[in-house]
Amino acid sequence: MNSLFPQQDQPTIIVLAPYCFSHIHPWYSPGRSMKLQQVEDLLSNVGFAILRLSTIQSSFTSYSPKISILCHSLNPLIRLGEIAISTFRLIPKLISFSRHQSLTLWVYNCRISEAIAALIICLFLPSIPLFLQIEDLPFARPFNSGIRGLLDLICLQVLSVRATHIFAVSQRVGISLQRFTPFVANSYTLLPPTLSDSFLELISSRPQPFISTQINILYAGAYSPEKGVSTLLNAFSRLPLNRFKLTLVGPVPESIATLKYSFPNLIIAGHVSAKSLYAHYCSSDVVVSPHHFGPRSSLIFPFKLLEYIASGSFLLTTPMPGLEEFGLPSECLFKTSDELYEKLLNVNTLWHKNSSALHQVSLRVRQRYSRRYINQEISSIMMSHM
C-alpha cells in the first residue's frame, strides 16, 4: 500500500469512491467512471496528487490507475466490515504521511460504504479538509431505497456537518440536498459533468445530420430497466428496415444483443473507447434518451443527456426534471413507445423545423459544460484549502 502514496512533493487528495473498470462487473457504471475521471483531471490541474481508495472489489487492468481496494466481498455486511478494517490499517500510514505533506479528503456520493471509511479517516485526522461530491441522493434509485436509503441518508447528514465544502451535480440535486440536511448551514457549489475537450473538438466539425437517405439512430448508456431501452426497441422494431439503423453502445445484455439476428439494421457496438463513442455521435442523425423517470427523478442528474444535446443530432427524450433549463423544443419530447415511433417516422420533418433552435441549444451546452468553464469555477475553492 505504501507504493500507492504519491511520491511528488505536492498536496495530496484522497479520493474515496467505488472505482470499477470492469465492464461486466454488476456495479460498473460508465457515467460514474467518466465523472471520476473528470474530477481527477480537475484536481490534478489544481495541483493535487491523487491517492485512490476504492470501496468495491473489481478487476483492474494494467491500464488502470493505482488504487487501494478496501474490500473484497460482495456480501453487503462483510463488505462494510472489510472497509472498516482496511481503513483502520491504513490510518498509521496516513498519519505519518500527513506529517510531511498536506492531505485532503474527497468523498464521491457519500453512500454508507464511503461514509464508514471517511468517518474513520476524519476521526484520526480531525483537521483534514473534507469535500463531498453529490451525484445523486439517498432513495433516488431502487438499490438505495428502504433501509439502505435510510442508512445512506444518515451517513450523508453526518458527513455534511463535518464537510469543508459540498459540490452538487445540479441545482435540483442541491435543493434536495438542503432539504435532506436541514441542519447544515453551508451552501453548495455546482459541479456538473463536463464535456471532454476531444469530444467538443470532434463535434464542432461533424457532418450535418440527415444528409443520407438512411437515418442513423444512436443510444449510448446503461441497460438497466429504468433506462427504458425496451421502449426504444419497441418503437424501432416497427420502423422501415431500409430507412433506419439503430446503434446500441454500452454494456448491451445478451437478451438484447441476440435481436441483431432478427433486425439486420440493429448494430450492437457494445462497450467502446471514448474516441469511438465520439465517432458514433458524429455519424448519428438521432439520439434517443428513453429513461423512465419517476417521482424521485429530481435526485438524479442524467449525464448522457449533456452529450446528446451537445452532439448536434436531433434529440428525442422522455421528460425529466431540469430539462426545462436547456430550452429544447417540445417536438423533442416523448412519453410512450408509440409516440417515439411516430416521431422517428417523421423525424426528417421535425429536424428541418427545429434544426436552428437545436443548434443554438447545442452551442450553449458545449460552452456551459466545457471542462475549461467548470474548472475555472471550482479551482478557486480547492486552491484555498491546499
Instruction: Classify residue 198 by its DSSP letter.
Output: H
Per-residue confidence (pLDDT) for residue 94, from 0 to 100: 94
Q: What is the mean pLDDT of residues 224-231?
A: 90
Per-residue confidence (pLDDT) for residue 8, from 0 to 100: 61
pLDDT digits (tens, 9 = 90+) for 99-111: 888 899 999 988 8
Angle between helices 146-162 and 112-124 (to 10 degrees): 30
Instruction: Label residues 199-226 b or e (16+ Cβ within 10 Å = b).
Output: bbebbeebeebbeeeebbbbbbbbbeee
pTM above the 0.85 mark? no
What CATH number should be reported for the domain holding residue 176? 3.40.50.2000
Give me the percent of the chain exceeding a pLDDT of 90: 50
pLDDT digits (tens, 9 = 90+) for 289-305: 998 876 555 556 667 78
The verdict on 131 and 202 lying in the same domain is no
If one counts the domains in the chain, the total is: 2
Per-residue confidence (pLDDT) for residue 73, from 0 to 100: 85
pLDDT digits (tens, 9 = 90+) for 330-378: 999 999 999 999 999 999 999 999 999 999 999 999 998 888 888 877 8
The verdict on 378 and 364 lying in the same domain is no
Per-residue confidence (pLDDT) for residue 31, from 0 to 100: 72
Any idea which residue has 432478427 for its cell? 262
The verdict on 231 and 348 lying in the same domain is yes
The band of 62, judged by pLDDT with boundaries at 50, 70 and 90, is very low
Per-residue confidence (pLDDT) for residue 299, from 0 to 100: 52
The verdict on 159 and 218 lying in the same domain is no
Which amino acid does the sequence have at 183?
Answer: F
The verdict on 316 and 213 lying in the same domain is yes
The verdict on 212 and 321 lying in the same domain is yes
Angle between helices 274-283 and 197-204 (to 10 degrees): 30
The verdict on 214 and 319 lying in the same domain is yes
Per-residue confidence (pLDDT) for residue 230, from 0 to 100: 95
The verdict on 135 and 201 lying in the same domain is no
The band of 318, judged by pLDDT with boundaries at 50, 70 and 90, is very high
The verdict on 244 and 260 lying in the same domain is yes
The verdict on 216 and 331 lying in the same domain is yes
Q: Is the pLDDT of residue 154 over 70?
A: yes
The band of 222, judged by pLDDT with boundaries at 50, 70 and 90, is confident
The verdict on 103 and 146 lying in the same domain is yes
pLDDT digits (tens, 9 = 90+) for 94-145: 999 988 888 999 999 888 999 999 999 999 999 999 999 998 887 766 666 6
Task: List, in sequence order, every beta strand (DSSP E) within the chain.
Answer: 12-17, 49-54, 67-69, 103-108, 130-134, 165-168, 188-190, 215-220, 244-249, 266-270, 286-289, 314-317
The verdict on 203 and 342 lying in the same domain is yes
- Its domain, for residue 327, covers 197-368
The band of 1, judged by pLDDT with boundaries at 50, 70 and 90, is very low
